[in-house]
Amino acid sequence: MRAMTLRRHLGGYAVVGLLQWLVEYAAMLALSQWLMPVEPANVTGRVCGAVLGFWLNGKWTFAGDGHQLGRQAAIRFAVMWIALTALNTWMVGLIDHHAGLSTAQLFKPAADVFCAGIGFLLSRHWVYRR
């Protein structure tokens, strides 16, 4: 098994996170531009990214040495994801309300980076722990 190092965790989380974010952001942009308000578009995009991120982080980033991908991890992930999605959507909606859709779309990555930092800490120390 690979040694659990902060460097490896951060690197893996960054790679998975970038892929996850690209899926999420593309879905949010397309949906908010043509089909629905920004808040439900953001949640839908986050669902798409979350499914991918949960599996890849569990199988690759945090695999081994006291970490596991299973029912308990899925429940913890769901709790974390709901809380971070509420925070992220509130931030994007607040920007949309005060500065408009294009500004909310532009600044969504800042909300995502903020939530990703919290998500990394929770994933490493709680979600995937046995």
pLDDT digit string (tens) for 12-67?
999 999 999 899 899 999 999 999 998 899 889 989 999 999 999 988 888 876 77
- Burial-class residue 42 by CB neighbours within 10 Å (0-12, 13-18, 19+): buried
Whether residue 2 has pLDDT greater than 70: no
Containing domain of residue 75, as a range?
6-127
Residues contacting residue 68 through CB under 8 Å, at least 6 positions apart: 58, 128, 130
Q: Is residue 48 exposed (0-12), middle (13-18) or buried (19+ Cβ within 10 Å)? A: middle
Residue 1 forms part of a structural domain? no
Answer whether residue 24 is part of any domain: yes
The pTM of this model reads: 0.79
Count of domains observed in the chain: 1
Question: How far is the first Cα of the chain from the last one, in angstroms, to the nearest whole number?
Answer: 16
Q: Give the model's pLDDT for residue 1.
A: 44
CA distance 130 to 127: 9
